[in-house]
A and B are shown apart, each in its own frame.
Chain A
């Protein structure tokens, strides 16, 4: 679902799982929004409880695509992976680490805004 909020394009993923079955759809949507000239894009994962490698790939694809465009602000927010956030070896930690290494602006909690 795509929405405009205060000049920002917000893509809200209304799925509990971002995985091989639906990640291409998100990837294509992000690319289309960037092609259409969006300058400030937020991907809101507030409802997402599970991300696999292809879901992560879709987000990385968006990040790469956004990074190619000057003056474009890219954010991934509301990463709702709190179920195992206390375990140092957990998947959420791994994904957060990947996020840091790829210098995403990841906001761990809170709505898009």
Chain B
């Protein structure tokens, strides 16, 4: 039977000024977790970065006006941390996002790479109520 320890639902306006708020929430949650096999400060930084990248992506691709929102769900289920970021944009093909070429000093295209590097699984689904970027991190 699955056990859900934490379930947090956050809705922010789709404006980049709220990235700091979202990142800080992620850090505070990481510092409250029982992390036996990883450094808490490192996890906090990683979560901050992952959520900042995911929400910035959702804002960029939402295509909506200032009244649009981005929904973020954080939950811990069976020692897995799940981060889900919902957007209402046209979506994108996650599988088509390439690994950056590090010999090329391109200014863009590293956000998904950071998320993939820091999380254990990353998926992007289209649903009836919008799109969701679903990321999982094993805590033990």
Which of A's residues lie within 8 Å of B, judged by CB? 17, 19-21, 27, 50, 52-54, 56-58, 60-61, 63-64, 83-84, 86-87, 89-91, 94, 97-98, 101-102
Contact A19 B103 (CB under 8 A): no
Contact B19 A19 (CB under 8 A): yes
Complex Cα spacing A101 to B104, Å? 9
Contact B106 A60 (CB under 8 A): yes
Complex Cα spacing A94 to B42, Å? 13
In the complex, which range does the number of interface residues on chain B fall in? 20 to 34
Complex Cα spacing A20 to B20, Å? 10
Is chain A's interface secondary structure helix, strand, loop, or mixed overall? Answer: helix
Is chain B's interface secondary structure helix, strand, loop, or mixed overall? Answer: helix
A94 → chain B, closest Cβ, in Å? 7
> Which residues of B sit under 8 angstroms from A97, Cβ to Cβ?
102
Question: Which listed segment binds A: B77-85, B88-96, B111-119?
Answer: B111-119
* Known contacts A53-B111, A91-B46; 15 further A-B pairs (Cβ under 8 A): A19-B16, A20-B16, A27-B107, A50-B52, A52-B19, A52-B52, A52-B53, A53-B53, A58-B107, A60-B105, A63-B105, A84-B42, A91-B49, A94-B117, A102-B102
Contact B42 A90 (CB under 8 A): yes
Residue of B nearest to A58 (CB): B107
Complex Cα spacing A16 to B52, Å? 14
- B74: Cβ under 8 A from any A Cβ: no
